[in-house]
Amino acid sequence: MKNIFKKKNKISKNKVVEIQTENTTGNCLVSYKNLYLDCSQKELDFGHSSKWESKKIVEIFLDIGFNVDVIDWEDNSFLPLKNYDVVFDIHQNLSRIVPSLSDHSIKILHSTGSHPKYAANQEIDRVNQLIKRKKKNYRPKRICETIYFDRSAEVANAISLFGNSHTKSTFPKNLHEKITLLPVTSSRTLVKDMNTKDSKEFLWFYGYGAVHKGLDILLDIFSRDQNYKLNIVGEVEIEKDFMNIYANELLNLPNIEYHGYLTPLSKDFQKVINRCIAFIAPSCSESTSTAALTCIMAGLYPIYGIDNGLTLPSDTGFLLDSCSHKQIIKGIRTVSKYSRMELNREVKKIKDFVTKNHSRESFTSKMKEFILKSIND
């Protein structure tokens, strides 16, 4: 990605970053992550794919010919002081600033997850089940407000959505005509050694929200059956209430190993994936899970729930009918019986598909096509 700044400058979260282009066709406001504009190429490659994507969106608008102002999506104090021909927002600013916009402003909502109401209900159900099982309290971690998002979706002329048809189905039907599905990209990763010996080790690799991402279910399963090993990569220790419930399973069992946070381009991450045959992705709500795509690109076989928003070639991967204990156990036992040759053949087919459909080139092409269509329509 080219450097869109002539001079590097310190960017604050509440700063409006103004970027001028030649032969301008108008003004655009992007409400995403302005801090990501100051990332180095190394940070863009090592970090979550959203860093690269948000910077690329700004670059697309510049290439089209817009002067671009960029604010942080959580900046709730910003008000427009100029006319914007296009506003591109990922959550709530669109609903807040729409009274300040011209009737001719093109309003685009970019959704990076399932509908917030669906996601909230899914997580609350998970939390209630956990409290019932363990008789201990846990606070939901991934719930965000929905009023502003609903209003943003209502006033938007067009909605871009990371995900598949299932992800789209979580949105109200009256919004479906506005929605265009777009491919998320995976984070850059090292690749496992496909010639390693047969294994019964598995990987859980997700971000914040252990119960939302189904780690509690996996800890229950693996703590009861020590014929299989679970490797956990993520910052689970920051969730004190989760640690209060599952510290023993996370830290003291021989077949469960907690590695903490690892970047997918680190040697430690490669050591972990070299021991594993598959990743297990039992999240209750996503767009298309970047974590799942990253694991696929690393060479791991997918055992995944429908709410990861993955569309894979037919007859590949193990799609969980539900993320129940019973279904996940079935997936673990089934995949453990595959020969290394069977696994490698199927992993290659899945990886080739993801490489083609979730590349940075594919994202750039389809996002630009969507933006141009939204403007022209």
Query: Does pLDDT of 9 surpass 90?
Result: no
Query: Does pLDDT of 6 surpass 60?
Result: no
Q: Could you tell me the pLDDT band of residue 2, with boundaries at 50, 70 and 90?
A: very low
Q: How far is CA 328 from CA 44, 124, 217, 254, in A?
A: 34, 20, 9, 20
Beta bridge partners of 108: 88, 158
CB 108 within 8 A of CB 157: yes
Give the pLDDT of residue 14.
60
The per-residue pLDDT for range 184-233, each reduced to its tens digit, is: 998 889 899 888 767 899 999 999 999 999 999 999 999 999 999 999 99
The per-residue pLDDT for range 322-350, each reduced to its tens digit, is: 999 999 999 999 999 999 899 999 999 99
Nearest CA among 350, 345, 318 for reference residue 331? 318
Domains and CATH numbers, the chain: 17-115+142-185+359-376 (3.40.50.2000), 201-357 (3.40.50.2000)
Give the pLDDT of residue 11.
54
CB 185 within 8 A of CB 132: no
Pick the more confident residue, 28 or 21: 28
Query: Does pLDDT of 3 surpass 90?
Result: no
Q: How far is CA 135 from CA 23, 123, 131, in A?
A: 63, 17, 5
Mean pLDDT of all residues in 108-118:
96
Q: Tell me whether strands 26-32 and 66-72 are parallel, antiparallel or unpaired.
A: parallel
Query: Does pLDDT of 44 surpass 80?
Result: no
The per-residue pLDDT for range 254-287, each reduced to its tens digit, is: 999 999 999 999 999 999 999 999 999 999 999 9
- Ranges 8-22, 83-97, 132-146, 222-236: which has the least confidence: 8-22
**Sign of CA pseudo-dihedral 367, 372, 374, 377:** negative
Give the pLDDT of residue 7.
36
Give the pLDDT of residue 151.
94
Instruction: Determine the 3-state secondary structure of 180 from DSSP.
Output: strand
Give the pLDDT of residue 8.
34
Mean pLDDT of all residues in 26-51:
83
User: Is the model's pTM score more than 0.85?
Assistant: yes
Mean pLDDT of all residues in 234-258:
97
Among residues of the chain, what percentage have pLDDT more than 70?
A: 96
Q: How far is CA 356 from CA 265, 312, 323, in A?
A: 21, 12, 28
